[in-house]
Amino acid sequence: MIDATALAEKPVLPGNRIQLVPLSPRHAAAFHATFQDPGVRRLTGTHHDWTLGELQDWCAQAGTRTDRLDLAIEDRETGEYLGELALSGIDKDNASGTFRISLAASATDRGIGSEAIRLLLDHAFDRVGLHRVQLEVFPFNPRARRAYEKCGFEVEGRLREALFWDGEWHDVLVMAAVAPRRK
């Protein structure tokens, strides 16, 4: 059963090396810097050139949204911003939602993404009450696909030529994870 208040609550989810914390204005500058990186923009399919002001507003409103959960990924020891993730698109009737993640370039290839994904999935399944969480990934991002697969996501389908990037059409893979069966 989905907890109707679960996305209104903005938890801190501690991991071994990282913690997921509510996205707030203090993250806006680092969030903005991350999306200035052309590689990050490509891997996330981000066409919009977010201004610092837009991201400051977005981060300031994140804590008041009841239809989604936006969390920053921070290093547990230093508090350094490593990325952000979101759980949104909640379908209460079917206990499903949509997930996305974006890592700062300095946070890749360190297992940070996998740890963050596991923390959010545990929260989505155990606290929010979701049964299924889906995401989209581009075939030109095999590193992300491997991380998703390590966390229990499986490819369910392909959206043909759904992303137009750098003058070319690219497919989008749809992946999903389902809650573990309870005995």
> CA-CA distance, 121 to 177, in Å (whole number)?
8
pLDDT score recorded for residue 6:
78
Output the six-digit token pair for 79: 């508090």
Do 98 and 133 meet the contact criterion of CB atoms below 8 Å apart? yes
Domain map of the chain by residue range? 13-129
CA distance 159 to 104: 26
28's enclosing H/E stretch is helix 28-34
Token code pair at residue 127: 């606290």
* pLDDT tens-digit profile, the chain (183 residues): 787 677 889 999 999 999 999 999 999 999 999 988 888 888 888 888 889 999 999 999 999 999 999 999 999 999 999 999 999 999 999 999 999 999 998 888 889 999 999 999 999 999 999 999 999 999 999 999 999 999 999 999 999 999 999 999 999 999 999 999 765
Question: So what's the pLDDT on residue 38?
Answer: 86
In this prediction, residue 4 carries a pLDDT of 63
CATH 3.40.50.2000 assigned to 13-129:
no
- What's this model's pTM, rounded to 2 decimal places? 0.92
Q: Are 165 and 141 in contact (CB under 8 A)?
A: no
pLDDT (0 to 100) of residue 109: 87
